Structure 1
Amino acid sequence: MNFTYKQIWLINFPVMMSLLMEQLINLTDTIFLGHVGEIELGASALAGMYYIAIYMLGFGFSLGLQVVVARRNGEGNLTKTGEVFWQGMFFLASLAIVTFTLSKVFSPQILRVFISSDSIYHAVIDYMNGRDYSFLCVFPILAYRAFFIGITKTRVLTVNSILLVASNTILNYLLIFGAGGFPRLGIAGAAIASSLAEVVALVHIVIYTYLKINRKVYGWRITVNIPLLKQLLRISSWTMVRSFFCIAPWFLFFIAIEHLGETQLAAGNIVRSISVMLFVIVNSFATTGISLVSNLIGAKQTNRVVPICWKTVKLSYAVGTPFILATALLSKQILGIYTNNTEVIETAFPPFLLMLSTYFLATPAYTFCNAIIGTGKTRTAFIFQMITITIYLGYLYKLSTWEQIPLVVYWTAEQLYVILLLGLALYFFKKGDWKR
């Protein structure tokens, strides 16, 4: 296998669109709620981070599932890819039911511990009461996504994602503001809209798979293989925990800045929302890299792994740099999309520029860290992540003990995080033990 820049791009583009459209759900929620009020805007940040932290458990398992599907695909053992998929689907469907139930029961108590403002707390609960239902659809969607990325047939993900965002945008407008005779639900309407959009996306990808996948070629039959499921869990347990701890610090980040006030929290949410959109480029290439690395190892071409990582980094720079520069030039206009409050815009401007610069460090950091997952060394990737998160949280805690620290200083924690992650990942590949 000799993946060219063109081949990497063709595999990556649908993945990028899929991740982009998924993040557009949070973006549209934030934009709409920014015109409802500062409390709703700040609450959507905390609620969104809390939801995504739980979501990342399923996403982490899907990365392990993707590794195994890609390895079988690289070996040319296509009939096993379908069997691997179904074991992953059984687990993710079960996880969906468990997380939905636990969130319904325990989320109010957990969130009360972290959120001091009563108005923000009640807004967050209103959001989660409707958003919980998304778990029942989004986790099965992750199984389908892992399968299609693993076999490098990713075009369906683009259409699926467009349907997801289009449904969410329309439903947001109807349910948040009460347009077209619908009830005016505010932040609760944003949550219900997102959950209904996930239903549309799941129905679409199930129908597509049923009509287009060659069941004989890909071994697409429902079977239970306990040893295979245990193998998946052995690989994916580390990526599940790692993915959860990747996003959990974001939730703690917003808890750390909540004491700065509602304006600072709203400004931080705007910067986070934009950063997530731009970092879709980084994450899509890093996610694609998992399959590329795993396919290469399955084809016994370990000598091509590091070169393909650098190819992926260069392509990510080529795609992302124009967007970063354009965003920097149009910064005030972009921030103005979210809110008309000039104080919030002025507060968001310095951390916004710092966030843009982080892209150039994050690209190689996430690419090489995800490549570690592609080699199957998921435990090592988890250990590296925990080292960086521990230092990151210690840094945030130290900042929170000082008085009158501006929001932009808190954002330097992101740069510290990616620098540490990059150093550890490069050390792993330089050491060379992974080839055995």
Structure 2
Amino acid sequence: MRTPPARADLRGHRRRHDREIVRLAVPAFLALVAEPLFLLGDAAVVGHLGTVPLAGLGVAATVLQTVVGLCVFLAYGTTASVARRVGAGDRAGALAQGVDGIWLAVLIGVVATGGLLALAGPLVGVFGAEAAVEDAALTYLRIAALGTTPLLVMLAATGVLRGFQDVRTPLVVAVVGNVVNLALNVLLVFGAGPVPALGIAGSAIGSVVAQVLSAAALVAVVVRGARREGASLRPDTRGVREAARAAGPLVVRTLTLRAALLVTTYAVALAPATERTVDLATHQLAMTLWTFLAFVLDAIAIAAQAITGRYLGAGDVEGTRAVTRRMVRWGVVSGVVTGVLLAGAAPLLGPLFSSDAQVHERLVPVLLVAALAQPLAGVVFVLDGVLIGAGDGAYLARAGALVLLAHAPVVLLVAGAGGGLVGVWAVFSFVFMGARGLALVHRERGDTWLVTGAGR
């Protein structure tokens, strides 16, 4: 029996969408995983110096990661704007837009570096660590701060390449750069031959050198493309200003997400004193595992940013709707898979990270709650990526603020009423993520976000 032409065309479109999603998502996932894996390597190197240097690294890294995390819009916003112009057939304009994004990264990076150097003492002092740990943290932070601008340039350049559907180059640079980083850490921390042992300062120097080399490699690819298309490499004041204006809502979105995580951790800390330490340790492990699984879902979201921007830039609303439905299905399936894996592994994960029997016992029910929420998280991540790709940052900022206002009182009330760690995670998994899901699905079902053309 012959398949009807309409059905055959539909299957063909689905297969084409699937191939495109896989082509973009798999390298994106590998690039996302590369950095935390090699950060673990850095920690292992410094950890051999002793507990104090390792604690200092932890404090300094938290400061740096917060600054860089707030600037993730440099990748997200650039991906969306560049993809739109690519979809509209304006490759030169796309590269010019990308170059402006890189110049914005340089500007923000210079300001952030100055701020970190000037405020290193107070920022480290917030953590209330002992004097020896503060000294180690300051040593690392004052050197590693010099890598802030290269890190932000890497974000922007990665966004440009993703906008052109090139996710392999950022993957290669991430892997090679982190291998160089690890090798330099070993050499400079412990010394060899004529190279003196520099301790924790050597780790910071190695990281900065690797970041500069990685940024240079990514920028070189963008510059080569710009010259090929005849795009200017000079900063355009108007373009940089527009990139900064578009970034504002994404900064608010990111702040609301981080605030929700902080409120959740604060709620865990409301446990009775006799339970607090075990609950916080268990919560940290659960959140680390949640974050790792989020890389799988975030990889599809990154694909969504690039694909959505390209389709809308080409003026293809019907295609945007179709590929969005397909990506949501991928998000649900991925969430089901990660949920099943997490639930199955829950009894085995505690002993891998802790020798405390109480942590093992409390971690299992928390992970089961998190496992149940994975399909919902899959939808949330994908639709977040779709709306970022559509340039709908203003809505994401407003929705993020409303979701935070809904989540914070509920999680604090549950914690204060003795809901315990499982209760807090139930609120985080289903109230916070559920509210995000409702806001995103509501927006996706409307037409306001479907703005076509090279610019939003």
Q: Which amino acid aligns with 1:284?
A: A
Contact 1:16 1:284 (8 Å CA) reproduced = yes
1:225-374 mapped onto 2 (5 Å cutoff): 225-258=236-269, 261-319=276-334, 321-374=336-389
CA distance change for structure 1 residues 165 and 183 in 2, over 3 Å: closer, same or farther? same
CA distance change for structure 1 residues 294 and 329 in 2, over 3 Å: closer, same or farther? same
- In the TM superposition, what whole-angstrom CA distance separates every residue of 1:69-114 from its partner, at most 9, and x where no partner exists? 111100011111221111111110111121122233335435655x
User: CA–CA distance in 1 between the matches of 2:335 and 2:54?
Assistant: 27
User: CA–CA distance in 1 between the matches of 2:220 and 2:357?
Assistant: 47
Q: How far 1:362 sits from its partner (Å)? A: 1.0
CA distance change for structure 1 residues 132 and 256 in 2, over 3 Å: closer, same or farther? farther
SS in 1 for 2:118: helix
SS in 2 for 1:4: helix
Moved more, 331-340 or 270-279: 331-340
Residue of 129, 135, 143 corresponding to 2:148: 135
1:32-431 mapped onto 2 (5 Å cutoff): 50-106=63-119, 108-109=121-122, 112=125, 115=127, 122=134, 125=137, 128-129=141-142, 131-170=144-183, 194-209=207-222, 213-258=224-269, 261-319=276-334, 321-399=336-414, 401-402=416-417, 406-415=420-429, 416-431=431-446
Moved more, 5-14 or 346-355: 346-355
Contact 1:54 1:244 (8 Å CA) reproduced = no
SS in 1 for 2:250: helix
Contact 1:53 1:248 (8 Å CA) reproduced = no
**TM-score with structure 1 length normalisation?**
0.83
- In the TM superposition, what whole-angstrom CA distance separates every residue of 1:148-206 from its partner, at most 9, and x where no partner exists? 11011221122112124434555666778x597985957x8776665454334324334
Q: Which amino acid aligns with 1:230?
A: R
Q: Which amino acid aligns with 2:426?
A: T
Q: How far 1:237 sits from its partner (Å)? A: 1.6
Q: How far 1:308 sits from its partner (Å)? A: 1.4
Size of the aligned set, in residue pairs, is 430
CA distance change for structure 1 residues 164 and 361 in 2, over 3 Å: closer, same or farther? farther
Q: Which amino acid aligns with 1:74?
A: G
CA distance change for structure 1 residues 111 and 392 in 2, over 3 Å: closer, same or farther? farther
Q: How far 1:306 sits from its partner (Å)? A: 2.9
- In the TM superposition, what whole-angstrom CA distance separates every residue of 1:311-354 from its partner, at most 9, and x where no partner exists? 11222444554454334333454444434444444443332333
Q: How far 1:388 sits from its partner (Å)? A: 1.1
Q: How far 1:299 sits from its partner (Å)? A: 0.9
CA distance change for structure 1 residues 13 and 412 in 2, over 3 Å: closer, same or farther? same
CA distance change for structure 1 residues 135 and 396 in 2, over 3 Å: closer, same or farther? farther
Q: Which amino acid aligns with 1:373?
A: I
CA distance change for structure 1 residues 44 and 224 in 2, over 3 Å: closer, same or farther? closer
**TM-score with structure 2 length normalisation?**
0.80
SS in 1 for 2:217: helix
Contact 2:46 2:53 (8 Å CA) reproduced = yes
Contact 2:120 2:142 (8 Å CA) reproduced = no
Moved more, 137-146 or 309-318: 309-318
User: CA–CA distance in 2 between the matches of 1:71 and 1:268?
Assistant: 40
Identity %: 17
Contact 2:105 2:152 (8 Å CA) reproduced = yes
Gaps of 5+ in 1: none
SS in 1 for 2:373: helix
- In the TM superposition, what whole-angstrom CA distance separates every residue of 1:212-234 from its partner, at most 9, and x where no partner exists? x4444433431232222222222
Q: How far 1:288 sits from its partner (Å)? A: 1.7
Contact 1:65 1:143 (8 Å CA) reproduced = yes
User: CA–CA distance in 2 between the matches of 1:430 and 1:232?
Assistant: 27
Aligned to 1:4: 17
Q: Which amino acid aligns with 1:222?
A: L
Structural RMSD (CA): 3.7
User: CA–CA distance in 2 between the matches of 1:38 and 1:21?
Assistant: 25
User: CA–CA distance in 1 between the matches of 2:148 and 2:64?
Assistant: 9
Q: Which amino acid aligns with 1:237?
A: G
Q: How far 1:275 sits from its partner (Å)? A: 1.9
User: CA–CA distance in 2 between the matches of 1:307 and 1:124?
Assistant: 53
Contact 1:239 1:382 (8 Å CA) reproduced = yes
- In the TM superposition, what whole-angstrom CA distance separates every residue of 1:6-34 from its partner, at most 9, and x where no partner exists? 11211222222222223334555677789
Higher relative contact order (CA 8 A, sep 6+): 1
Q: How far 1:258 sits from its partner (Å)? A: 5.0
Contact 1:249 1:389 (8 Å CA) reproduced = yes
User: CA–CA distance in 2 between the matches of 1:46 and 1:258?
Assistant: 19
CA distance change for structure 1 residues 388 and 196 in 2, over 3 Å: closer, same or farther? farther
Contact 1:35 1:338 (8 Å CA) reproduced = no
User: CA–CA distance in 2 between the matches of 1:99 and 1:292?
Assistant: 31
User: CA–CA distance in 1 between the matches of 2:165 and 2:143?
Assistant: 34
CA distance change for structure 1 residues 332 and 119 in 2, over 3 Å: closer, same or farther? farther
